[in-house]
Amino acid sequence: MTALLYLLTRKLKNNLLSVLKTPSKLIFALILIALMVFTAFTGNETVHENIYGFRDINELYAVVFLLYSIIFVMISKNGFYNGASMFSMADVNLIFTAPLKQGKVLSFGLFQQLGRSLLIGYFILYQSALVRDTYGVGFSALVYILIGYGVTVFLAQMTAMIIYSLTSSDDRKKSILKAGGFLFVLCFAAFALLTAYKNGGITAANLVLASRHIALRFFPVSGMTALAAEGAIQGDLAKVAGGLVYCVVFWLLYRLAVRLINSDYYEDVLQSTEVSYSAIQARKEGKAAENAPRNVKTGKIGIEKGFGASVIAQKHKIENRRSRIFILSAMSLVMIAVSVFGCFIFGDMPIGIFVLNVYMLTMGVAAGRWGKELAYPYIYLIPEKPHIKLWYTLKGELPTLVIESVLCFVPVYLIAHTSLLDTAGMIAGRISFGLLFIGVNLLLQHLFGSSDKKFLVLMVYFLFIFLFSVPGIAVAVFTGMFFPFYMGFAYIAMGAVNTVIALILAFCCRNVLQETK
């Protein structure tokens, strides 16, 4: 057994022992395993066509291609900043100083990253029932999609490291390559839209048809990994073989590029590893970690406005303005993209678009600036009443939530052709869920403070979301029975109940800044 293989097996064993000896991790793991066993059994049930028939399986292939493409672009983009570290600080201390060949160390890091990628993509397997009932394929199809997801992340990490090696010491080269990459992605997106338009208009069916165009298969990595996943689902060995050959060639070209660039790989990866390590340590210690750019354009400096606790709201306003991409934040752009994506998947079922958007909101609310502010010590030192400080901390979230909700469902009105009442109802419902999720986060802060038991807190978070959402959903169902053709009333009624519950939670946790743990 080689030293690297021994180290890999020891790390795996220690991780398993850590799960077994940590109650919160063990409970979380048992729940995941139970859910996966349940999903696997239900996912392998005999597929029976429903009365409406199955949707076109090509829709599933198009969604997989889009998912892989977004993942590849987002991870590769890291190469323009801190690279894509595949090592921990322990690896740096143990392996980088050992007399091992650089290629073997690189393979070790990439293999570790593949395992992490599969764990991150674990959520894909939970869509078994939806995929089976919608497209008529079993649990094995999602296993193939998960494998393709892991390979895509694996190759994207390599791409990010090559980009980082090429541009880390030359800002001019970084700007040129970044602009070229943006135009490259934009050209593929424009080609897909143009192809759909020529087929009869930009509709869901035509976009799916456009995704089958052979030219799109030349999009780096995701084009061929999506083809391989499609071939595995269809049982087409030629497509699987083509995807595998492409991945092997990509790996060989990567190894060749590492040699030709002749950069010190250890030196390139060290900075990104340190950044990742600092972020992990900050999360463990309950601190907020911000990604600051290397070059900062100061422009107008200072807060200027605000007195006492109101300075917090003004500070958040300035931070939000500086973090915008064009006129919106990155999270808002993602939410809008999710809504547009949902229009083409659930075009005839607006409630599906609403549920997808609310699901994304569970993560967006928790990542807001107000949550990060509670992790800093400064807010606790302001000589103001706790509930006043809490109000100004949350004040900046309210306009953002309203504007984001409007921008998320205006495309739904234009693309899915929902009525004005339904659109207004979904906007009100999303705002109310945002307020409810803020209330749940405040309750968790009140109960756990900056607890390091992240797995336990995450489970309780989703449990509370479910429990506090039930009254609003029940009222929505009851209202929908009386107004079956005006679902907007159901959304508005649900929003009213959610808002009342959110206000009650906020009132009960108004002294959360005084009772920190």
Report the C-alpha gap between 431 and 406 in whole angstroms: 9
Mean pLDDT calculated for residue range 248-268: 73
Q: What is the band of 517 on the pLDDT scale with cuts at 50, 70, 90?
A: very low
Residue 442 burial by Cβ neighbours in a 10 Å radius (0-12, 13-18, 19+): buried
Instruction: List, for residues 356-365, the tens digit of each pLDDT value.
Output: 888 888 877 7
Q: Are 337 and 329 in contact (CB under 8 A)?
A: no
Mean pLDDT calculated for residue range 27-48: 66
Q: Is residue 383 part of a domain?
A: yes
Instruction: List, for residues 265-315, the tens digit of each pLDDT value.
Output: 566 566 666 666 665 555 555 555 555 555 555 566 666 676 777 777 777
Indicate the number of domains in the chain: 2
Q: Is residue 98 part of a domain?
A: yes
Q: Taking each helix axis as running N to C, give the angle between helix 222-234 and helix 139-167, from 0 to 180 degrees, rounded to the nearest 10.
A: 170
Average pLDDT value for the chain? 77
Asked whether residue 240 falls in the same domain as residue 171, the answer is yes
Q: Are 352 and 418 in contact (CB under 8 A)?
A: no
Asked whether residue 269 falls in the same domain as residue 335, the answer is no
Please say which residue of 253, 276, 299 terminates a domain: 276
Instruction: List, for residues 81-135, the tens digit of each pLDDT value.
Output: 655 566 777 777 777 777 777 667 766 776 776 666 666 666 677 677 667 777 7
Q: What is the band of 347 on the pLDDT scale with cuts at 50, 70, 90?
A: low
Which H, E and C letters describe 23-83, residue by residue? Answer: HHHHHHHHHHHHHHHHHHHHHCCCCCCCCCCCCCHHHHHHHHHHHHHHHHHHHHHHHHCCC
Q: Is residue 46 part of a domain?
A: yes
Q: Is residue 9 part of a domain?
A: no
Instruction: List, for residues 439-452, the tens digit of each pLDDT value.
Output: 888 888 878 766 55
Q: Is residue 516 part of a domain?
A: no
Please say which residue of 230, 259, 276 terminates a domain: 276
Q: Are 135 and 55 in contact (CB under 8 A)?
A: yes
Asked whether residue 237 falls in the same domain as residue 334, the answer is no
Q: Is residue 420 part of a domain?
A: yes
pLDDT value of position 493: 92
Structural domain including 501 reads 310-508
Decide: helix, strand or coil at residue 328: strand
Instruction: List, for residues 167-199, the tens digit of each pLDDT value.
Output: 766 778 888 888 888 899 889 888 888 888 887
Q: What is the band of 5 on the pLDDT scale with cuts at 50, 70, 90?
A: confident
Asked whether residue 116 falls in the same domain as residue 207, the answer is yes
Asked whether residue 266 falls in the same domain as residue 405, the answer is no
Asked whether residue 272 falls in the same domain as residue 314, the answer is no
Tokens of 257: 């590029």
pLDDT value of position 498: 92
Asked whether residue 335 falls in the same domain as residue 396, the answer is yes
Decide: helix, strand or coil at residue 326: coil
Amino acid at 429: G
pLDDT tops 90 at residue 496: yes
pLDDT value of position 451: 56
* Higher pLDDT pick, 188 / 18: 188
Report the C-alpha gap between 39 and 42 in whole angstroms: 5
Q: What is the band of 43 on the pLDDT scale with cuts at 50, 70, 90?
A: low
Q: Is residue 515 part of a domain?
A: no
Residues β-bridged to residue 328? 325
Asked whether residue 253 falls in the same domain as residue 321, the answer is no
Asked whether residue 320 falls in the same domain as residue 451, the answer is yes
Asked whether residue 214 falls in the same domain as residue 341, the answer is no
Q: Is residue 209 part of a domain?
A: yes
Asked whether residue 268 falls in the same domain as residue 324, the answer is no
Return contacts of 94-97, CB within 8 angstroms, 24+ apart: 94/7, 95/4, 95/7, 96/266, 96/270
Q: What is the band of 342 on the pLDDT scale with cuts at 50, 70, 90?
A: confident
pLDDT value of position 295: 54
Asked whether residue 182 falls in the same domain as residue 47, the answer is yes
Q: Are 487 and 480 in contact (CB under 8 A)?
A: yes
pLDDT value of position 178: 84
